Amino acid sequence: MPPIKVKSAEVATTPRRQHKADARAAAGSHGPAKPRAQTRIQREKQDVILEAALEVFSMHGFRGATIDQIAEVAGMSKPNLLYYFPRKEEIHRRLMSALLDTWLAPLREINADGDPFPEIRSYIRRKLEMARDYPRESRLFANEMLQGAPRIIEMIEVDLKNLVDEKAKVLLTWMDQGKLARTDPYHLIFSIWATTQHYADFDVQVRAVLGPARGGEGRFEDAARYLEGLFLHGLTPRSTPKAG
Amino acid sequence: MPPIKVKSAEVATTPRRQHKADARAAAGSHGPAKPRAQTRIQREKQDVILEAALEVFSMHGFRGATIDQIAEVAGMSKPNLLYYFPRKEEIHRRLMSALLDTWLAPLREINADGDPFPEIRSYIRRKLEMARDYPRESRLFANEMLQGAPRIIEMIEVDLKNLVDEKAKVLLTWMDQGKLARTDPYHLIFSIWATTQHYADFDVQVRAVLGPARGGEGRFEDAARYLEGLFLHGLTPRSTPKAG
DNA sequence: CTAACATTTTTCCAACTGGTCAAAATTCTG
DNA sequence: CAGAATTTTGACCAGTTGGAAAAATGTTAG
């Protein structure tokens, strides 16, 4: 039922800090984080919780979200939820580290051996599809950014930066080969992020402005068409009159 | 000292709802909302509060922000703050309605009688300057959007929509005259919003990715140059080899 | 100076917050 | 089915939250 699957047995990329609760759970009398393998119920409930947490965190941010609220959306009691995730931060961390992977996948796919325009074009497509299909993930990310990314700044500075550096080099190579306008590859990537994620993060505004007629599902196709033209030719009118 | 001036005697655009506290203040024994004209201290303190609230709301969103926190930033006690704004919502509302005006000013300035490229170019400049000079306002707005704009949806659906409709028509006229590539004027406006506001809303990410060398104040000039090229020609390489 | 007003502080409150704990209920395993 | 392990519940807690009330202090016009 939940449209987004969050990896449940995911291994944290950052070395798991020894919270008081973690310690208790690891050595202690109850709690699912024991050395023993996860049960079916554990996996299921954790998924339900993460799905509910995504819903709540993505709307209200970390501080604005409450455990009670998450528990209610998840359809369980607060202590029950806390049995699976001993602290609020833990839920958020799990959500974030699972997210960053998914989030950067489209960029990773850019192939240095491909041709620039098809590659960039399909990158935009993929990002736009993510904005359409995973808007909550986009908002979760945006929320974290607005707050100064306190809980993922390291990931941003290392993993994300490295990936962008790598892809910026690819773009530069294409520019050197004269296959792409010589411009700033970093700001190029930013502009793709911005224009595509806008449709998830500012969805309310987009819908309100487009109105009921054009604000339906078709808006993503319209956006794709527009962005394609923008990144290809900009706004300069071309004299190609009426060719399909 | 505060870099942003929020209009202090601003008249609420939405009909002021009769909160319990409003009623009390209007008829009652104390509170600044009396019929009598505002004193100097009232104006000053309200500005200090709004400035502090901007700081806090823009980072944590409405629910994540606390009155205590705002009061601390404003350098006063919580009850003292509540003397000027009887409820948290009131502060936020004042902030938001002042914001929307400022926020849409650059779009308003687009002149139908001007030439499309200079007009669009300076619109992008203005928006980028706002992202640089008023990043907190941008984040406040973004935060509200992420939450589904519950407190300003009407303004979005009326004021903002009307303005965008009007300017979209201007763009369409330019397209009809062959001065601008025929494309979707709404998504065109969205893309300018997205690309410019990105530098305020995702500032942490932008800095982290650009690194200390390129993440300094120069990044806005770089962004301006890049965006100019993007909106003018897109990414298609032009054979103009090495001219200024 | 003083009365009338404006402002600030102190004290307080009920609801909510993240989180604990032991006991009860359930599920799993031999 | 019995016993062990897991899961769920209910009662509870200390700290924080938005806000109220009133007393105490400033300020200012006459």
> Mind listing the pLDDT tens digit for each residue in B219-239?
999 999 999 999 999 998 886
Query: What average pLDDT does this structure show over A56-75?
Result: 97
Out of B175, B202, B237, closest to residue A145 by CB: B202
When scoring A204, A207, A238 by the number of chain B Cβ atoms within 10 A, the one with the most, hence best to mutate, is: A204
> Who wins on pLDDT, B101 or A244?
B101
What dihedral do alpha carbons B38, B42, B43, B46 form, nearest 10°? -130
Model confidence pLDDT, tens digit, residues B114-164: 999 999 999 999 999 999 999 999 999 999 999 999 999 999 999 999 999
Crossing angle for the helix pair B40-64 and B135-146, nearest 10 degrees?
50
Statement to judge: residues B115 and B64 lie in one domain: no
Q: Is there a domain that residue B240 lies in?
A: no
Residue B15 lies in a domain: no
**CB pair distance less than 8 Å for B198 and A179:** no
Question: What integer best gives the mean pLDDT of chain B?
Answer: 85
Domain, as residue range, for A195: 97-233
pLDDT tens digits, one per residue of B50-101: 999 999 999 999 999 999 999 999 999 999 999 999 999 999 999 999 999 9
**A11–chain B nearest CA distance, Å:** 24
Q: Identify whether residues A125 and A178 lie together within a single domain.
A: yes
- Co-location of B156 and B223 in the same domain: yes
pLDDT at A19: 32
Q: Is residue B6 part of a domain?
A: no
- Residue that wins the pLDDT comparison between A162 and B215: A162
Task: Tell me the residues of chain B between 116 and 175 that have a Cβ less than 8 Å away from chain A.
Answer: 116-117, 120, 139, 142-143, 145-149, 153, 156-157, 160-161, 164, 175
Q: Is residue A133 part of a domain?
A: yes
The pLDDT assigned to A208 comes to 98
In this model, does residue B175 exceed pLDDT 80? yes
Q: What is the DSSP secondary structure assignment for residue B180, as one 8-state letter?
A: S
pLDDT at A17: 28
Indicate if B105 and B194 belong to the same structural domain: yes
Nearest to A181 among B194, B225, B236 (CB): B236
CATH for A62: 1.10.10.60
Q: What is the pLDDT confidence band of residue B240, given thresholds at 50, 70 and 90?
A: low
B116 and B214 together in one domain:
yes
Classify residue B169: in a domain, yes or no: yes
ipTM value:
0.87
From A1-15, A132-146, A211-225, the region with the lowest mean pLDDT: A1-15
Q: What's residue A43's pLDDT?
A: 85
Span of A42-51, A62-71, B23-32, B66-75 with lowest mean pLDDT = B23-32
Q: How many CB atoms lie within 10 A of CB A68?
A: 12
Query: At A116, which CATH number?
Result: 1.10.357.10
Q: What is the pLDDT of residue A38?
A: 76
CA angle A48, A52, A57 (to 5 degrees): 145
User: For A177-232, what is each residue's pLDDT tens digit?
Assistant: 999 999 999 999 999 999 999 999 999 999 999 999 999 989 999 999 999 999 99
Is residue A6 in a domain? no
d(CA A116, CA B177): 32
Verify that A103 and A52 share a domain, yes or no. Answer: no
User: What is the structure's pLDDT at B24?
Assistant: 32
* C-beta contacts of A100-105 below 8 A and 24+ residues apart: A100/A152, A100/A155, A100/A159, A100/A160, A102/A130, A102/A134, A102/A137, A103/A130, A103/A137, A103/A141, A104/A159, A104/A160, A104/A163
Residue B72 sits in the same domain as residue B156: no
A63 by Cβ neighbours in 10 Å (0-12 / 13-18 / 19+) ranks as middle
Q: Any idea how long chain B is?
A: 244
In-domain check, residue B42: yes
Q: What is the pLDDT of residue A33?
A: 39
Tell me: do B33 and B82 sit in the same domain.
yes
Q: Do A229 and B183 touch (CB under 8 A)?
A: yes
Count of structural domains, chain A = 2
Q: Among B66, B93, B120, which residue terminates a domain? A: B93
> For the segment A106-118, what is each residue's pLDDT rounded down to a tens digit?
999 999 999 999 9
- Among A52, A75, A93, give the residue marking a domain's end: A93
Residues A67 and A124 in one domain: no
Return the higher-pLDDT residue of B214 and A40. B214
Last residue of a domain, one of B75, B93, B111: B93
Candidates A67, A63, A43, A35; CA nearest to A53 is A67
Interatomic distance B210 CA / C15 C1' (Å): 46
CA distance B197 to A50: 30
Q: What percent of chain A has pLDDT over 70?
A: 82
Contact A33, A26 (CB under 8 A): yes
pLDDT for the residue numbered B238: 80
Cα–Cα distance, B124 to B104 (Å, whole number): 13
